[in-house]
Structure 1
């Protein structure tokens, strides 16, 4: 299977602190990965590196057969779907939902002097409809609830028909109903053979959608475990990662964990 992401011996050091330490990891084009770990484990930094949002201190990163540091990011980033809280903060609250999604075509977060073709507008409208947001087209981003904003961010991330999709804690801060609705929608998307490779970061196994195939567990910037999800999400692995005795179960494709 073709590789869409390949990290080789990647480290990230900021202000003297090591965030990622010699991480090697590969994602194939038909895989759906969840990245888990405690606060400060390096999950968001890993996603930013793999999603071509920032650069490592050392090591090599290949995304869609392009090596970071040699790539034209203006050409590479529209091929990557990316959604995160940090990216959402850059979206003007006065931007219409349609424009929030539409600007993904240029990998920008606000309308300025770009010129969009009618094809782009139709694609944005189609994606909004697919994610249950057609009624929000002319509303502003700032008017939306947290759950609605999360869905708009994901719609924006898939607007360009990306070859790989990265979602950083897509269900964070949502209430139970909004979380379950989003996880169900993502599960349907993940199981479609037409969907790209997907990588989701989360703190909670309950937020892993049905259809995810692989898991990576980070501990203090190191890869503790990585591979097929049923082999990685074990009592022993998650107990070590989160520092509390955990019992991990799977029922009808959904995961849960509780203290033993």
Structure 2
């Protein structure tokens, strides 16, 4: 669907993107994360053929950005951070203008083309929930409905790929939830690249994430995959209760795959203890830990995989000793 190989982009002497490679498959929602100036917008402009790369190659739907940019533009719907809408038009008039640009009518097939335009407009209005606002002037719409209108123009021609730049910027919490639901719905049928500063948004809707810093990709994968790679080990939280003392470091630490046992809280009155177990990558000896607890008369109250948050990952990958990269 999208293949980016060793792409670089220079503006004069400034290198905005350097040696970036990634691929995105069909029906996948990928989050593009990074601090300001990381290169996110430059990459989106290259993918939409607004700019051409200074180095490397980009193929989208089998088309090369240098050789066939028009075919790529036909297969992509793009929503910039500031939706490209005209305030002096109604929603319907604006979408009719976009439909005419996408589906010019000429010759003997003009009537069929006009029918297709109307069908596409009706579909986009329904999908984006714009029905009640169809005849309202865009200048009178709330920010949420203007974003919906911008999204409607991006999907009007039913593209295989959507590229969305900060689609929920400036929206209230209810509007954010609605736009996220819409993106999730569209992601079932299309490939979506979503650039955002809202980390919870990525966790809520994205299948995986690309994290950029200073023009390069510093991490790629799901939150769990990146977290494991950063830590180099799995971590579990184990909570036990027993009528006797609970020795942890010895017997439990001897179980294959357990690399470290750290007791971090205990309640002597109830013989209850919480511990963090570090496991070697690729191991999951939950059954052995359960057998150990039963054999020693301990009750397992909690055994949960410790999850690294996307916020922790982002901070560690885009700062140096707690300070932003320069």
Match of 1:223 in 2: 217
Pairwise CA distance, 1:101:
3.0
Secondary structure of the corresponding residue to residue 237 of structure 1? helix
CA deviation after TM superposition for structure 1 residue 94, in Å = 1.5
Give the Cα–Cα distance (whole angstroms) in 2 for the partners of residues 231 and 225 of structure 1.
10
- 1:37 corresponds in structure 2 to 34
Residue correspondences, number? 235
Q: CA deviation at 1:134?
A: 0.9
* SS of aligned partner of 1:117: helix
Mapped partners of 2:97, 2:314: distance in 1: 39
Aligned match for 2:192, one of 195, 198, 222:
198
- Counterpart of 1:137? 134
Structure 1: 5+ residue stretches without partners: 247-260
Deviation at 1:211, TM superposition (A): 4.6
Cα deviation, 1:20-65, whole Å, max 9, x if unaligned, reads: 0111111111321001111111111111212223211111111111
* Contact preservation (8 Å) 2:202, 2:209: no
Are the counterparts in 1 of residues 7 and 58 from structure 2 also a CA contact under 8 Å? yes
Residue 119 of structure 1, CA deviation: 1.4
Tell me if 1:240 matches 2:316: yes
Note if 1:57 corresponds to 2:54.
yes
Question: Does residue 25 of structure 2 align to residue 18 of structure 1?
Answer: no
Point out where structure 2 has 5 or more consecutive residues left out of the alignment.
228-307
Aligned to 1:147: 144
Shift of 1:230: 3.1
After TM superposition, the structure 1 = structure 2 runs for residues 203-218 of structure 1, keeping only pairs within 5 Å, are 203-208=197-202, 210-218=204-212
**Matched-pair contact (CA < 8 Å) for 1:33–1:216:** yes
Seen in structure 2, the aligned counterparts of structure 1 residues 18 and 217 have a Cα distance that, compared at 3 Å, is: same
Give the TM-score taking structure 2 as reference length: 0.65
**TM-score normalized by structure 1?**
0.80
Q: Distance in 2 between matches of 1:42 and 1:72?
A: 21
Q: Is the 8 A contact 2:31 2:208 kept in 1?
A: yes
Distance in 2, Cα, partners of 1:11 & 1:163: 25
**Distance 1:131-1:238 versus aligned 2 partners, 3 A rule:** same
Does residue 160 of the first structure (1) align with residue 154 of the second (2)?
no
C-alpha distance 178-78 of structure 1, shift in aligned 2 (>3 A): same
Query: Distance between the aligned counterparts of 2:52 and 2:223, measured in 1?
Result: 27
Question: What RMSD, in angstroms, separates the aligned Cα atoms of the two structures?
Answer: 2.7
CA distance in 1, matches of 2:212, 2:162: 20
2:79 alignment counterpart: 83
| Higher alpha-carbon deviation: 206-215 or 140-149 | 206-215
Q: CA deviation at 1:245?
A: 8.7
